Amino acid sequence: MKRSSTPFRRLTSAALAVAIAGAASGCVMLGKYNRVVDDLEKERARVADLERSNEALGGERLKLIDEMENLREAKEGLTADVAKLQKTRDELSTNLQDRESKLAQLSKKSGEYEGLVKDLEKEVSSGQIQITQLREGLRLNLAQDILFRSGSVALEPYGVELLKKVSDQLVKHPQMVEVQGHTDTVKLSGALASRWGTNWELAGARAASVVRLFEQQGVDPSNLRAVSYGEHAPVDANSTAEGRARNRRIEIRLKPIGTTDAGDTPVAGNAASGSGAEAAPAPTP
């Protein structure tokens, strides 16, 4: 009995060993499988992370593209602004040069007018003459009473002497000269109406008398002009004697040679008699 059981035991032991070996081998394969599964999950997670990162980078890329486009547009806008500023700067520089040139000319002309103002200082102080500096030139406002008698176009001796002071300066420093005749609204009557008709003609004849005197004193006649405004450019109300007296006047406007007119540009109006006289609308002060 003991001999027959020994081989069986050996066989059983061998089978058991094989089973144990197989079980051990199965455990090894299962472990490898689990590790592969873990690695695969980790790889999937890493891929998912990469995909999320890629999506985020894609969004950042689009954002950067938008920012670059905005920067490009801003650059173009700044370039256009710089060009405009440069153009404005050039224009301002040109305007400044023009102003400096005109200022130099005005300074020169002011020096020329100083002599005239000085010569007429007494008359200005007494109120017989008003002198106004214009943007270009000078305006002399002379009361009619110091130049003419009532209803007359002949210059009074005092008026002649006064106007000679003006003509002396015009000979030394040639100017464009416009002599304007102005009256009040009182209509002419009697002999005056028969001779002159209206205030247009009377004012024009007086302006022409002043122009003729300037010419006789050596002022270039091509620089002279006589204009009649009649009663249509008052400087005061005609309802009072004082206002009418102020409106009866001779204005002499001086401007540098080369300007279009010595005074404001006239518009066609009723012609007034008198050498070189013409009717014109109210001037701008």
CA distances from 215 to 12, 169, 278 (A): 159, 13, 18
Is the sign of the CA dihedral 196, 198, 199, 201 positive or negative? negative
pLDDT digits (tens, 9 = 90+) for 80-110: 889 988 888 888 888 888 777 766 665 566 5
- Looking at residue 34, its pLDDT comes to 81
Asked if the model's pLDDT at residue 19 lies above 70, the reply is no
- Looking at residue 139, its pLDDT comes to 92
Mean pLDDT, all residues of the chain: 80
pLDDT digits (tens, 9 = 90+) for 21-45: 666 666 767 777 788 888 888 888 9
Secondary structure, 3-state, the chain: CHHHHHHHHHHHHHHHHHHHHHHHHHHHHHHHHHHHHHHHHHHHHHHHHHHHHHHHHHHHHHHHHHHHHHHHHHHHHHHHHHHHHHHHHHHHHHHHHHHHHHHHHHHHHHHHHHHHHHHCHHHHHHCCEEEEEECCEEEEEEEHHHCECCCCCCECHHHHHHHHHHHHHHHHCCCEEEEEEECCCCCCCHHHHHHHCCHHHHHHHHHHHHHHHHHHCCCCHHHEEEEEEECCCCCCCCCCHHHHHHHCEEEEEEECCCCCCCCCCCCCCCCCCCCCCCECCCCCC
Cβ atoms of 181 and 135 within 8 Å: the answer is no
How confident is the model over 180-193, as a mean pLDDT? 89
Name the token pair of 12.
């059983």
Mean pLDDT lowest among 10-24, 67-81, 121-135: 10-24
Fold of the domain built from segment(s) 120-255: 60s Ribosomal Protein L30; Chain: A; (3.30.1330)
Cβ atoms of 199 and 187 within 8 Å: the answer is yes
Q: How far apart are CA 114 and CA 140, in angstroms?
A: 13
The contacts of residue 212 (CB under 8 Å, 6+ apart) are 275
Task: Tell me how crowded residue 283 is: count the other CB atoms within 10 A of its CB.
Answer: 19
The contacts of residue 117 (CB under 8 Å, 6+ apart) are 124, 131
- Strand 137-143 to 129-134 pairing: antiparallel
